[in-house]
Structure 1
Amino acid sequence: MFDIQEIRSQFSILDREVNGKPLVYLDNAATSQKPNSVLEVCHAYYTELNANVHRGIHTLSQLATEEMELSRRKIQKFINAEHDFEVIFTKGTTEGLNLISYILTQKLQKDDEIIISYLEHHSNIVPWQLLCERTGAKLRVIPIDENGILQLDYFDKFLSEKTKVVSVNQVSNALGIVNPIEEIIARTRKNTDAYIVIDGAQSAPHFNIDVQKLDCDFFVFSGHKMYAPMGTGILYGKREILEALPPFHGGGEMIATCSFDKTTYAGLPFKYEAGTPNVGGNIALGAAVDFMNRVGHENIQNHENALLEYAQRHLLEIEGLKVYGEKAKRTGVVSFNLEGVGISSDVGMILDKMGIAVRTGHHCTQPIMEFFNIAGTVRASFAVYNTFEEIDLLVEGVKKAQRMLS
């Protein structure tokens, strides 16, 4: 049974007030709140287990290592990776994408091509631009139409023997649009031997992920958007690819042998996990997976889709309100502006006075904003603990903002 009040009771922060009003937290695409079960695991690590991992024979080090590696196996199952050592702990999606773009440097040369899309977060644009600067490769960008839907006929035209990397997000953080990555992967595999990178930052919190079924080469996501602590994330990579590519960072943990003459590298996953990891956070990421499994992926997706449909329907009843990507397949996000209100942050500030947390601005997707010829949007984004009553409060808040700002 899906019991929204029981779920909400697991998030203590939802009991607080903001500006004298009950908190309505609708900024989940930026970061989700954390259930007590995750916070308790963080606290338990630092009060009962605090020790470095993989390096000590003493009891605390052994126990901490066991807990972190158990978390790795939970995440392996969560994304259906074939091997647990294909799961690399990172600080988040941004680090994962930068890691991939760096280790692929030797695989590209002048006039090779990297394909991304117009719907990407800056973290899936800038690392590839840096790779182009290092190698002389060129960036190709799949355009979108007026609904924010990718124009895959252009993608087909871009694909060639020059294509070395295709990197797209599964869900747009700015608009919530669900991209047809299965089709993109299939077309890529049919026409090239390019590396396929999927940014799952906005999909891992909402969808059931199966990297083997997808047949992507890399999949990255952040823990903090799926009920885990900040500073946690995962890079999945196929075994044979990770084994063949060079390390990202050098230092402790990632070596097999080290001398002044030569260093040899450790096997997976440690080859890509130099230095002391975020042990407590990584263990808590496993606890976040446990939480999501208890609620159930289908329950999460059904509830959030119902919230999105309800929010869009009632927001569009407001005269002069425009939803971006309205006709596209979306999840978790409604991104909008009010006609005659030039600055989205003004709407956000009024909503904040009512205890309603939304995100305003360009959402680290300036190309999308330029396409629609706007400076930014108001973005409400949903998680499993949000309610229809909270959306009613959002709608009333937007109406109030419109009266005050028009």
Structure 2
Amino acid sequence: MGSPPAPAPPGRPENADTRLRTGFAVVGLLFFATMGYGTVTTPLWPLYQERDGFGPTMVTVVFSMYAAGTVATLVFAGSLSDRFGRTRILAAAAALGVASVLVFLLWQSVPGLLAARLVQGMGVGLTTSTATAAMVELGHRGAVRRPATSATTATTLANLGGLGAGALLGGMISEWIPGPLTAPFLFFGAALAVAGLALTLVPETAPRAHATGALIAVPHGRARVYFCSGAMGLTAFAVFGTFTALVPVILADVLTAPGRVLSGVLVMLVMGTAAGAQLLLRNARARTLAAAGAVLYPAGWLLTALAVHSSSLALFVVSAVVAGTAAGLLFKAGSVTVDRIADPQRRAGAHSGFFLISYIGMALPVIGLAALGGLIGTVPSVLILGLVLAAVAAAGIAGAGLAGARPPGR
């Protein structure tokens, strides 16, 4: 049996627990829908290439606009909810998502794709840190029975589960419903609109006191641990970014196995194994997660290179499982450490910085892989990138103190 919910504050209304649980579910659904919307285009790139006549390089450019919008928003607005409230910022994020849907549908050209992906990334940037902070705070107020594990588990499912589900749903809807470049966006636009309206049911959890004006809230006296934790997030998102951006290209050009549903399945496999590994080891210490991730991480990149070299779809599936597992463990190790050392009144700002570093990892390696691939080939590029990122992950683990005997904390 689970432990009883956290005791209610004096004078709390009888329906407060229900409102907390409802709010927790609404924020989780908005988080899930936003992240899913971020990957809905993954299986659609071949259709856009055919419609607008561009090659793989432009796919990388369009993808980078999404990352640029996310990173810029995390830098300049990621901590806004510490000052203006979680629900207001989440409502703005949902509005940006709906706006980008309209751009996708109404501006059908390469400039339209660039603009839509930029706005889409801005919505994701506002959502990630804000929703994470809101769900953790709602959990500690009694929305879940075990706040320390249940809240982080829920954010994991919303984040990584959404990323995987978006690609899968995008592939299925575009394959089986008329209007492959319209129907997926209508679906996610409706989901974002409904979730945004449902935010009226979410209680505000941001601290009453005004947070400082810092855009990124680095925990006082813990900068080294904080940024090294970010290095783990960066290496994890490098895997996510590589698969979400390049899976359709690899399937079509290297493995000769095109298919929008298959693209979605592979991305879902990476994200699903990442989330599954975190859930399986949800009670493990951060150093255990980091150690397991560090062992599996270079193996995932090596298997990916071998799969591309041998044009083996089966081996590519195995590489997706191994790489996704490693990325999930490293991401959770970094996220748990950041949450433990974050100042409560600056929680969103702390997570904002962590996601900022992570999304840099999603963008730069993809661009580097595309550039190196044109010079030395895809297989050597994957091996070089994997080696560099494995070294970054190892340095992050050591710098955060997760390689030693003492778990992170204050």
State the structure with more CA Rg: 1
Same fold by TM-score greater than 0.5:
no
Length-normalised TM-score, structure 1? 0.27
Length-normalised TM-score, structure 2? 0.27
> More helix per residue: 1 or 2?
2
> More strand per residue: 1 or 2?
1
